[in-house]
Structure 1
Amino acid sequence: MKLWGITHRGAVRQQNQDAYAVRELEDGRGLAVVCDGMGGARAGNVASSMAVELFMRKLEEQGQPGDDPQKWLKTAAAHANDGVFQKAVEDPDCTGMGTTLVAALAGNGKAVLLNEGDSRAYHITRDGITRITRDHSLVEDMVQRGELTREQARNHPHKNLITRALGAEPVLLADCFDQNVAPGDYLLLCSDGLSNVVTDQEILYEVIHGGEDEACCQRLLDVALHRGAPDNVTVVLMRC
């Protein structure tokens, strides 16, 4: 498993409220997590950084994933949710903060993914790109009801309004997904700072045809920056 990641504050924001982590486990599987914080001037950064740290620490405490990787990820995400929620309750500067979270554990022909919010995970092969996760957002709900097309959703004024976030409620309601992966397949995790300005087909092109894998995250960031990058941008690429 090969892992790469990059994060940037973008061209407009003064602070980067995204956070991410990648790790290769002892058994060769790859682990990645991306968080996109929300809240006040300081709180979004606190939420995303806390979530990543607590999530990764809890995974370490649990040891190897074993036979139930969904439970392994959910337990860590619930722990992170508890910590962020308590911080938001106890610290007046952090009132109302929260964060998205998308995570993937991949290897041995299988990937397990968890998400809360609108940070995304994609499965990419030479045959195409498939979004694995479903956004927990107002515009995604409108698309599902047939009130908006995908293209209309990309430009909707409320596209950044999410309906679920880690740390916003005392109980986490994260979604989990199982995905088969073959040698040479890719998983890409990103915050909406990328997906709002770079299309799925453009992501596919850069991953498969754009050049060396090691530079792919930078290439995607450069595309976002070239288009004004109004939000923080985080990209993680995993190659099976």
Structure 2
Amino acid sequence: MSDVVTRSRTLPLPGGEIEVSWAAVTHTGLRRDNNQDAVLADFPLFVVADGMGGHIGGEIASTSTVDRLRPIAESGDVSTKAIEKALSKAVKDIASHVDTTDDGTGTTVTGVFLDAAGGSVHWVTLNIGDSRVYLLRDETIVQITTDHSVVQELMAAGRLSPEEAENHPYGNVITRAVGPSESVTPDYVRLDVVDGDRFVVCSDGLTKELTDYGIQHFLAEHEDPAAAVDAMLEAALENGGRDNISIVVLNAVRRSSDSADADTATHATR
């Protein structure tokens, strides 16, 4: 359906290695005139930004944010401090477009990175807004990030049920974004690296059209990240494609030194 390809990297670790494979796509959808989403999928940082504001203001916000984060990914030295510094620069970039942005222009930024600093390795998720990170582990899918939205706050207060939230008139109203304020710090969640983990990073253009269980279904059907991304995108479009759609799927395989040596020996004898 698309030109999505799976990429991979292997990182040596004390006592073994981790192989990460991933694929990403962004699509305008069927009802929008332009795509205000932006995606960064460059090991070890995987991010989706969903812009908002004016005809091209949202596109400027999401692109500015991803452009500021890209050098961090390319350096390979990703940290929360570096991310926050980049986001501060992105806020200034957005504000500099005075003719095409206003006080409400901004973007979500949500993602996950592999933190190998200090001799240990962990996943760290980051989130501002209502794009999401899901983790599939032991055949169970969990939303790791918490939406920064009016609907989520109403649900947390017990004033709204999940069923009522699906069609709430404030469903698109977020409470935190990169752009409208000078300083916004993401929420972070630190996770152990477990063999077989699979992540999905996505804008709400996907979650408007697929339930959590729908996302899990396509992960189960397609082990290859590119195939999973394609299947989710096709399903989201078939279900209406009401918004821009951005998806990153990544798989993690963690091997001990013994298993890595065994794989090498097996390949050598073939």
TM-score of the two chains, using structure 1 as the length reference:
0.88
CA distance in 2, matches of 1:231, 1:166: 20
Q: What SS does structure 2 have at the residue aligned with 1:168?
A: coil
CA distance in 2, matches of 1:169, 1:118: 17
CA distance in 2, matches of 1:78, 1:205: 38
What is aligned with 1:81?
91
Q: CA deviation at 1:60?
A: 4.6
Greater Rg over alpha carbons, structure:
2
TM-score of the two chains, using structure 2 as the length reference:
0.79
Q: CA deviation at 1:58?
A: 4.7
What is aligned with 1:57?
71
CA distance in 1, matches of 2:123, 2:87: 17
Q: Does 1:102 align with 2:110?
A: yes
CA distance in 1, matches of 2:199, 2:223: 17
Q: Does 1:207 align with 2:207?
A: no
What is aligned with 1:164?
176
| Contact map agreement 2:62 2:106 (CA 8 A) in 1 | yes
| Contact map agreement 1:117 1:164 (CA 8 A) in 2 | yes
Q: CA deviation at 1:188?
A: 0.9
CA distance in 1, matches of 2:83, 2:21: 20
Q: Deviations over 1:23-59 (max 9, x none)?
A: 12xxxxx311110000001111111111100122355
Q: What SS does structure 1 have at the residue aligned with 2:93?
A: helix
| CA-based RMSD | 1.8
Q: CA deviation at 1:72?
A: 3.1
Q: Does 1:44 align with 2:58?
A: yes
Output aligned runs, 1:1-240, within 5 Å. 1-24=20-43, 30-58=44-72, 60=74, 64-65=77-78, 69-84=79-94, 86-88=95-97, 91-96=98-103, 97-106=105-114, 110-210=122-222, 212-240=224-252
Query: Among the aligned pairs, what percent are the same residue?
Result: 33
CA distance in 2, matches of 1:6, 1:13: 16
Q: CA deviation at 1:103?
A: 2.2
Q: CA deviation at 1:18?
A: 0.4
Q: What SS does structure 2 have at the residue aligned with 1:177?
A: strand
CA distance in 2, matches of 1:130, 1:211: 18
Q: CA deviation at 1:201?
A: 0.7
Q: Deviations over 1:104-156 (max 9, x none)?
A: 10266521111111010111124211111111100000000011112221221
| Contact map agreement 1:55 1:79 (CA 8 A) in 2 | no
Q: Deviations over 1:57-109 (max 9, x none)?
A: 35556x623xxx3323333233323322x225xx1321131100012102665
AA in 2 matched with 1:43? G
Deviates more, 1:195-204 or 1:145-154: 145-154
| Contact map agreement 1:119 1:191 (CA 8 A) in 2 | yes
* Structure 1 segments unaligned to the other structure (5+ residues): 25-29
* Structure 2 segments unaligned to the other structure (5+ residues): 1-19, 253-270
CA distance in 1, matches of 2:33, 2:178: 23
CA distance in 2, matches of 1:104, 1:192: 16
| Contact map agreement 1:125 1:208 (CA 8 A) in 2 | no
Q: What SS does structure 2 have at the residue aligned with 1:236?
A: strand
AA in 1 matched with 2:145? T
CA distance in 2, matches of 1:138, 1:185: 30
| Contact map agreement 2:84 2:185 (CA 8 A) in 1 | no
| Contact map agreement 2:39 2:246 (CA 8 A) in 1 | yes
CA distance in 1, matches of 2:115, 2:221: 23
Deviates more, 1:72-81 or 1:91-100: 72-81
